[in-house]
Amino acid sequence: MHQRRRIGIIGGGIAGLAAAVRLRIAGFDVLVFEAAPTAGGKLGAMQLGPFRFDTGPSLFTRPDLIDELFELAGENPRDHFSYQRLDPVCHYFYADGKCFHAPAEPAALAATMEKELGEPAANILAMQNRGSYLYRITAPVFLESSLHTLLTYIRPSGLRGIANLPFIGTMRSMNKENIGRFATAHARQFYNRFATYNGSDPYRAPATLNVIPHLESAMGAWYPEGGMRCIPMAVYELALRLGVRFRFNAKVERILLDAGKKKVRGLLLEGGEEVPTDIVLSNADVFPTYKKMLPDLKAPARVEQVDSSSSALIFYWGIRKSFSQLGVHNIFFSSDYEQEFRDIWNEQQAPEDPTIYINITSKCDPADAPEGMENWFVMVNVPANRGQDWDAIRRQLRETVIRRMSRELGTDIAAWIAEEEFLDPVRIEARTGSYRGALYGSSSNRMLAAFFRQANFSSKVKGLYFAGGSVHPGGGIPLCLLGARITASLIQKKYQP
């Protein structure tokens, strides 16, 4: 019977695409409505003169989750999508002049950090072991299952997860744990930074997030052939081959409910067209899903009270010069990390002395910039949009970044900028519907944050589901892909005979 069920997916972001593939393979009739002219959501790209840029994510982990989609469809992923492991993963530069290139392998990372920073290798290896333990305990419950179904908790992995709650760092901050683990401030700053991978603050987020370095170091950081944009494009083309239907420039205005508001019955598109569906899966941010598309329904408290993740200000610079001291991923740390996060989270302002991240894809894909030049994606973490003066912030940050980079690289960087664009929280919200321009939905700044994220389904409205960065298990490409898997499997369980 499920074969005739019609699913309307709102949004063709990475989670919407992955869910579409899974549900189509399961036999559903899948229609994706995307407000933008193309698929991919935050995984966008742009050309500025001779320079190509990925506009959103730059770091790719867990490529196996993309491969899984092709394998599920009976295709060889390598026929459609390839990637290479990055080694070193990232070049780190500290405010006091220390620097190191982080090797991909944990043992090599430990040896390098001991040599360059004076941090005993044993401490780094112990942290890697801790990350691996955290992953074993938390992944089956917090990343791979719905947190809102009983089944999760009565399975052995669920029981193990719950029994281990006191031991996975839920009640102390990442920074607090890292103070105890590392001898040097440099190693602490390196490990604290991983909180920003889901838009959180290491001085508040639970130490459970120390699982993130494990994802990068033990499971690898990768670069997709052709750039990050190829990730959603490969999944989009797979979806097309499977028979998923797409409507672009098709903004959903309302999710239509039956008279009792207990069950979905379709979608209303901008322009007035009504599309009947049995199931609706919203890949749009959950806040506007409730506030704009379901205005007559009371939003759950966890949606109303969302603690948005941080956002970012990004400069895209075509640089008429190349710098041998830089790699694909580069971090220039601030001198006072705690103050930087106080500025972002307490003051809700851009940091005065920010950590600067620079991604240069032309380092591994020379086609992205002319010979002897580089495409710089320069990113600074900022708070989500709450009406700050973003034009003034942008002008200030541009000056700060140019001053720091000119000092670090011994040349006036402003003089080498040939092409320029920017992205800020307001533009992120306008282009992808992400509430307040947050990069990762809600932050993980409170203890047991996972339990405060929106579930993958509505407990009030039959046939209403969610997948994407603003719902369980959270933001970032791997988590969005895991979320799509959870949601697709909930739908299959419910609607397959």
Ligand X SMILES: Cc1cc2nc3c(=O)[nH]c(=O)nc-3n(C[C@H](O)[C@H](O)[C@H](O)COP(=O)(O)OP(=O)(O)OC[C@H]3O[C@@H](n4cnc5c(N)ncnc54)[C@H](O)[C@@H]3O)c2cc1C
x/- letters, 240..259, toward ligand X (CB under 6 A): -----------xx-------
By beta-carbon proximity to ligand X, the closer residue of 123 and 308 is 308
Nearer to ligand X, 70 or 440 (CB): 440
Residue 283 in contact with ligand X, rule: CB under 6 A: yes
Total binding residues toward ligand X, as defined by CB under 6 A? 36
Q: β-pairing, 264-269 with 252-257? A: antiparallel
Q: Check residue 327 for interaction with ligand X (CB under 6 A).
A: no
Query: Does 30 interact with ligand X (rule: CB under 6 A)?
Result: no
Between 106 and 473, name the residue whose CB sits nearer to ligand X: 473
Nearer to ligand X, 77 or 433 (CB): 433
Considering only residues 5, 7, 14, 168, which one is a binding residue for ligand X as defined by CB under 6 A? 14
Does residue 267 touch ligand X according to CB under 6 A? no
Q: Which stretch binds ligand X (CB under 6 A): 52-60, 113-121, 165-173, 321-329?
A: 52-60
Q: Does 310 bind ligand X (CB under 6 A)?
A: no
Considering the rule CB under 6 A, would residue 354 count as an interface residue with ligand X?
no
**Measured from the CB atom, is 117 or 378 closer to ligand X?**
378
Q: Shortest distance, CB of residue 10 to ligand X, whole angstroms?
A: 5
Picking from 490, 484, 458, 486, the residue whose alpha carbon sits closest to that of residue 294 is 458
Q: In the set 34, 365, 368, 419, which binds ligand X (CB under 6 A)?
A: 34
Residue 143 is a binding residue for ligand X (CB under 6 A): no
Among 7, 25, 26, 59, binds ligand X (CB under 6 A): 59
Residue 432 contacts ligand X per CB under 6 A: yes
Stretches 143-151, 328-336, 453-461, 475-483: which one binds ligand X (CB under 6 A)?
A: 475-483
Contact range with ligand X by CB under 6 A, out of 119-127, 300-308, 426-434, 456-464:
426-434
Q: Which parts of this chain interact with ligand X (CB under 6 A)?
A: 10-16, 33-36, 41-43, 56-59, 251-252, 283-284, 312, 314, 428, 432-434, 439-440, 468-469, 475-477, 480
